[in-house]
Amino acid sequence: MLNQLQSKSSLLKVMNSTFMDLPAPKNISFSWNMGSLLFLCLFIQIMTGMLLASSYAPSMDSSFYMVIFTMENINKNWLIRYIHANGASLFFICLYYHISRNIYYYSYMYKHTWSIGVTIFILTMATAFLGYVLPINQMSYWGASVITNLLSEVPYIGPNLIELVWGSPSVNTPTIMRFFSFHFFLPFVIMALTVVHIVLLHETGSKNPLGISSVNNKYMFNPIFIFKDLLGFITILFAFMFISLLMPLTLGDDENFFNLNPYVTPIHIQPEWYFLFAYAILRSIPNKMGGIIALVMAIFILYFLPYLHSASMASSYYPINKLMFFLFLSDVSLLTWIGMAPVEAPYILTGQILSIGYFLFYIIGPLMNIFWEKLIMF
């Protein structure tokens, strides 16, 4: 009994330090809402995912029709699926905004917190890809075939690695069963890493627009920031439910409405919108192995940001750096558009130029920081 009371007391202390007494800079804006919104998105995805999993069976032949059947015959299952599908888009909107803000205010200098956050980002991308394949429609099947075939370029173990992922000579029922298992399991890993991320954040504290570190310029998290987060919750949920109820298919692809036909390749294979910038980088490289390396580096370069940054001041405070940051956002947006375009001129050359610009941001940015710091010190 005493151990139980002590355990409850420890849990209450953790919750109190997280939601009540956490000191937070008083000048942080609604841009800092994304962390709490991401936790809300994760909760929505896990809850709706568990409900959908209870009426899903991984099968190459029947999964597509089973999804349609459950949407039509199980009470409110259509709404659950639309919330889950659009919830993935909401998750990535908040995630990309969260990452962008951290780059802008150089929050990546909290190395451990940043590394865990990047790991969460990569696992979220993996989870979203696995879930995209599960309905086994025309686009998801061919998307899975194209992406998993990239593993064939891994030296020495490529063919064996593909067979391990597929569980058969091609994408088939064993593949779907494995994808379903990992799609169900990974969100709980993400949840655990999120807790670690929050704990590390509490050790370092939050950044703020002015870079103020004084403990005298902070407020307790409750009630000011609680109400700020609640306002963000209400606004985002209202927009999210509006889309889920009235425009649930806006972000989908027309090929997702067709059952699998392994003998007919879609005219243009493309992933969901939140993967398009990476997909554009992949196909901008004529060499297959070079494209895979560029794709991997486009994501994993985020791990190296703290080590590329050698200046002591926040990068966003230097003159040209704000312009560079917004040019970088424009570059990523255009790469997303290129990912939807057909593989033909002038989109190929445009994608190559934009891919070079994407990586140049990570190279030129740190050099500009050093230049401005030396100029100011001089």
State the pLDDT at residue 311.
56
State pLDDT tens for residues 205-224.
Answer: 666 665 555 555 666 666 66
- pLDDT tens-digit map of 305-337: 888 876 555 555 666 778 888 999 999 999 999
- Annotated binding residue 183: yes
Please name which of 73, 39, 373 lies closest in space to residue 233, comparing C-alpha atoms.
39
Largest CA distance in the chain: 72
Distance CA(88)–CA(85), nearest Å, equals 6
Instruction: Specify if 15 maps to a domain.
Output: no
Consult the annotation and say whether 309 binds a ligand: no
Do residues 319 and 372 make contact, with C-beta atoms less than 8 angstroms apart? yes
The answer on 255 and 362 residing in a single domain is no
Which of 214, 246, 263 is at the close of a domain? 263
Residue ending a domain, choose from 225, 243, 263: 263
Q: What is the pLDDT of residue 34?
A: 81
> Does 220 share its domain with 350?
no
Identify whether residues 35 and 168 lie together within a single domain: yes
Please list the active-site residues. 202, 206, 228-229, 272
CATH number of the domain that residue 355 is part of = 1.10.287
Q: Would you say residue 62 has pLDDT above 70?
A: yes
pLDDT digits over 178-207, tens only? 999 999 999 999 999 998 988 888 777 666
My answer on whether 289 and 237 are in the same domain is: no
Give yes or no: residues 154 and 286 share one domain.
no
Highest mean pLDDT among 5-9, 210-214, 264-268, 269-273: 269-273
Last residue of a domain, one of 263, 292, 308: 263
What is the residue type of 152?
Answer: S
- Domain presence at residue 6: no
Residue 355, in any domain of the structure: yes
What type of residue is 13?
Answer: K
Per the domain annotation, does 313 fall within a domain? yes
What string of DSSP letters covers 42-78? HHHHHHHHHHHHTT----TTTHHHHHHHHHHHSTTHH
Answer whether residue 222 is part of any domain: yes
The reply to whether 229 falls in a domain is: yes
CA 264 centroid distance within chain: 31
- What is the rounded CA–CA span in Å between residue 109 and residue 246? 42
Same domain, 60 and 87: yes
The whole-angstrom separation of Cα 316 and Cα 372 is 11
6, pLDDT greater than 50: no
Kindly state whether residues 290 and 233 are assigned to the same domain.
Answer: no
pLDDT for 80 equals 92
* First and final C-alpha spacing in the chain: 66
User: How is 266-334 classified by DSSP, letter by letter?
Assistant: -SS----GGGHHHHHHHHHSSSHHHHHHHHHHHHHHHHHHHHH---SS-GGGSHHHHHHHHHHHHHHHH
Same structural domain, 198 and 305: no
Of 170-174, 259-263, 354-358, 368-372, the range with the highest mean pLDDT is 354-358
To the question of whether residue 112 is assigned a binding role by annotation, the answer is: no
Its domain, for residue 204, covers: 28-263
Same domain, yes or no: 253 and 275: no
Tell me 212's DSSP state. -
Asked, for residue 181, whether it belongs to a domain, the answer is: yes
302 and 361 in a single domain? The answer is: yes
Is the same domain home to 255 and 287?
no
Q: Which two tokens stand for residue 332?
A: 């990523």
**In this structure, are 203 and 82 located in the same domain?**
yes
Secondary structure letter of residue 260 according to DSSP: -
190 domain residue, yes or no: yes
CATH of the domain at 173: 1.20.810.10
Q: What angle do CA 80, 99, 51 make, to 5 degrees?
A: 15
Q: How many domains, in total, are found in the chain?
A: 2
